[in-house]
Structure 1
Amino acid sequence: MARTNYYAHLKANYSQPGLVPDTQKAELIAEGLRIVGLKEATLPTIGPDYTLEQIEEENKDWWPTHCEALRQGRGDILTGEYRDDLVYFCQDGPYSGLEQQKEREQHWWALIAQPGVTMVWPIVMFWGEHTFFEWKCLDDETHETIAKGNVTWVRRGHRGGCYLKTEQLTFYRDVFAPETLLKLITT
């Protein structure tokens, strides 16, 4: 069976540590901020003026910006990717809207973006407005996996943002982040 390079046609490869040059990281953060600014107040309709093909291409453009925002703990960008009426299914949920998951999710972001840990996404797949990915966080010194999960986003491209997220998370070392790590997340 042929192996798949899930990043072959994307702007950056986040399948393992060390593949994204520093100069590109800053560009991806700037692009992530730009994309968040394109989200419309009303979820756009899929049709001849906004096709599933266009949405899928926009989701592929967005993907590396999302990865870099997570690696840098950019909670401002990460929250901006969600619609106000987000539905989020995970083992602690379900959550509805942006406030219900905020307290819990900031701990997750702090743990996966902490110094000495690198988050990677070995698998990412796109289909219309659906983006599926698997992730894990690696301790840079011991190489142990400290957390892992798989996620599906239903994201209506740049104009719509994410309105449904499903996630399975497993944290091996910590479940709640200490205050020192929480302070590193940009709000």
Structure 2
Amino acid sequence: MTKQKASYYEKLSADYSRPNLVPPALQAELIEFGERIVAMKEEELPTIDSNYTLAQIEKENREWWPTHCEALRQGRGDILTGEYRNDLVYFCQDGPYQGVEQQKEREKHWWALIAQPGVTMCWPIVMFYGEHTYFEWKCVDDITNETLAKGNVTWVRRGHRGGCYLKTEQLTFYRDVFAEERLLKLIQT
């Protein structure tokens, strides 16, 4: 029996699988909600128990997901960094990084490249399971439709109260590896 294909964005507040699917008013709401989510992060990683269940954490991760996508599209490095715990472990081909300071300079270049004008980042696949969020992304040139970069990522995120404490990522950049200074200036920190 073949499983019927369905949108990965079914039951989420916004669809980031392709460009131009999220209206401006919703974009603004998602940025505001993303700022509120960052402020909910607690100093200590909350315990998973009967008061904070995996089901609640997965629900919160589903709420958070569109805010993360919009923050990346708008180059909101302040929100993106705020999503991480201070003791983040980040595995990628340039890493490993530990803590939010180690990866900050390198990740700023990645954000500048994927949020540059004339490029739209899309996440065609996103899946949730408890604390785990897996997604695949690509950046598409708005004029030529070429893929500038792509990757797949897994976040281990303890909902709004905990934030991301483990991130694994495979990135492939086709056109650029380091962002020009003019693009770096577009990233809010």
Task: Name the TM-score, length of structure 2 as normaliser.
Answer: 0.98
Instruction: Show the 5 A alignment for 1:85-96.
Output: 85-96=87-98
Q: How many residues align?
A: 187
Q: Which residue does 1:70 correspond to in 2?
A: 72
Shift of 1:156: 0.0
Q: Matches of 2:129 and 2:6 in 1, distance apart?
A: 16
Letter matched to residue 7 of structure 2: N
Letter matched to residue 11 of structure 2: H
Matched residue SS, 1:56 = helix
Q: Does 1:41 align with 2:48?
A: no
Q: Which residue does 2:59 correspond to in 1?
A: 57
Shift of 1:4: 2.2
Q: Which residue does 1:80 correspond to in 2?
A: 82
Q: Does 1:108 align with 2:130?
A: no
Matched residue SS, 2:40 = coil
Matched residue SS, 2:70 = helix
Q: Which residue does 1:135 correspond to in 2?
A: 137
Alignment gaps of 5+ in structure 2:
none
Shift of 1:79: 0.2
Task: Name the TM-score, length of structure 1 as normaliser.
Answer: 0.99
Q: Matches of 2:56 and 2:139 in 1, distance apart?
A: 31
Q: Matches of 1:74 and 1:29 in 2, distance apart?
A: 9
Q: Matches of 1:144 and 1:173 in 2, distance apart?
A: 10
Q: Which residue does 1:121 correspond to in 2?
A: 123
Matched residue SS, 1:86 = strand
Letter matched to residue 153 of structure 1: W
Matched residue SS, 2:178 = coil
Root-mean-square deviation (Å): 0.4
Q: Which residue does 2:172 correspond to in 1?
A: 170
Q: Matches of 2:137 and 2:6 in 1, distance apart?
A: 16
Deviation by residue 1:17-54 (Cα, 9 ceiling, x = unmatched): 01000110000000000000000000000000000000
Deviation by residue 1:65-120 (Cα, 9 ceiling, x = unmatched): 00000000000000000000000000000000011101100000000000000000
Shift of 1:129: 0.3
Q: Matches of 2:18 and 2:180 in 1, distance apart?
A: 26
Give runs of ≥4 in structure 1 deviating > 6 Å: none
